[in-house]
């Protein structure tokens, strides 16, 4: 995929993980159908990657997996940043715009266990590894006999920890395993109406400087249905004033001509679920309505 950089080349900024590179390949393939000139990549190491052993709730600020990619756009080192959409802060940096979302993969969370058993069949006290506060909170609420444990690392690192016996199971995004060709390792795909995925999970976001040719190229490859769903989910997150550390899930999909949004928020009193629907062409209003209902 890599080509010599030049005045007419389109450079994509990406993280270094196998999943990030696989997602960047998908973005390059899509953009290659509309962009002029060659496409190459710029691999960027983010603060979240540099501090892979630090729990997310101990990291300062936000944008741990996106800020350095955005800096590459602002500095002109790249024209498009390829993100896992769920990593994006609720607002882009000044001068930048999320121009498109590629067609979404499976938004659900899934489990990987050493013996293939689903969560409901694991013994009490089984250790479930995850780096997400949302997943930990939902595990506590839906599977109270299990023991969530905070772990960090890329997919391959987490799978190695499972194999080594550090945990008895993992909860991971199905989309990541699917894109890495590891779907066969899934013991189950969790019901998204109960174990509600993270906002924008499974979607790839293309971010660029506003008003540039790159924005037009990105918009040309965006998927309208994914854009509507993710916009509703992110609006709900914004309406709650939350970010990556909020134990909140949101899952939108188009059904029978309507946009249906299911959301869940873990509180001290348990997990609160809300399901609303609205017009496909006004996803932000639907997301804000769900946030208001949850409050």
Active-site amino acid positions? 87
Q: How buried is 1 (Cβ within 10 angstroms: 0-12 exposed, 13-18 middle, 19+ buried)?
A: middle
Burial label for 171, CB within 10 Å (0-12, 13-18, 19+), is buried
Residue 288 burial class via C-beta count within 10 angstroms: exposed 0-12, middle 13-18, buried 19 and up: middle
d(CA 131, CA 103): 25
Asked if 205 and 98 touch (Cβ cutoff 8 Å), the reply is yes
Largest CA distance in the chain: 60
- The Cα-based distances of 147 to 16, 91, 94, 178, 285 in angstroms read 31, 34, 41, 26, 37
Tokens standing for residue 102: 């590629």
- Strand arrangement, sheet containing 80-84: 39-43, 10-14, 80-84, 204-209, 96-101
Nearest to 81 by CA among 120, 44, 106: 44
**Helix, coil or strand: residue 84:** strand
Contacts with 113 (C-beta within 8 Å, 6 or more apart), sequence order:
122, 162, 168, 169, 170, 187
Task: With residue 50 as reference, give the H or E element that holds it.
Answer: helix 47-50
């Amino acid at each position: 995929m890599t080509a010599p950089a030049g005045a007419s080349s389109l450079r994509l900024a990406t993280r270094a993980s196998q999943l990030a590179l696989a997602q960047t390949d998908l973005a390059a393939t899509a953009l290659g159908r509309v962009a002029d000139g060659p496409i190459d990549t710029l691999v960027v190491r983010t603060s979240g990657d540099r501090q892979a052993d630090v729990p997310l709730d101990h990291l300062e600020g936000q944008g741990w997996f996106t800020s350095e990619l955005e800096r590459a756009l602002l500095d002109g080192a790249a024209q498009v940043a390829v993100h896992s959409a769920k990593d994006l802060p609720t607002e882009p940096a000044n001068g930048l715009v999320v121009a498109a979302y590629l067609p979404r993969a499976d938004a659900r969370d899934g489990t990987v266990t050493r013996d293939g058993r689903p969560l409901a069949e694991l013994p009490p006290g089984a250790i479930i590894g995850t780096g997400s506060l949302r997943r930990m909170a939902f595990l506590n609420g839906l599977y109270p006999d299990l023991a969530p444990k905070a772990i960090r690392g890329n997919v391959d690192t987490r799978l190695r920890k499972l194999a080594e016996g550090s945990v008895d199971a993992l909860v991971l995004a199905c989309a990541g395993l699917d894109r890495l060709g590891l779907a066969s390792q899934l013991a189950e795909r969790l019901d998204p109406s109960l174990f509600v995925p993270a906002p924008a999970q499974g979607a790839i976001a293309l971010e660029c400087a506003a008003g540039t040719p790159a924005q037009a190229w990105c918009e040309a490859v965006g998927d309208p249905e994914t854009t509507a769903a993710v916009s509703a989910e992110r609006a709900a997150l914004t309406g709650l004033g939350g970010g990556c550390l909020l134990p909140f899930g949101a899952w939108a999909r188009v059904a029978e001509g309507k946009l249906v949004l299911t959301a869940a928020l873990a509180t001290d009193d348990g997990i609160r679920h809300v399901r609303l629907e609205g017009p496909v062409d006004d996803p932000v209003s639907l997301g804000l309505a769900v946030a208001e209902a949850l409050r």
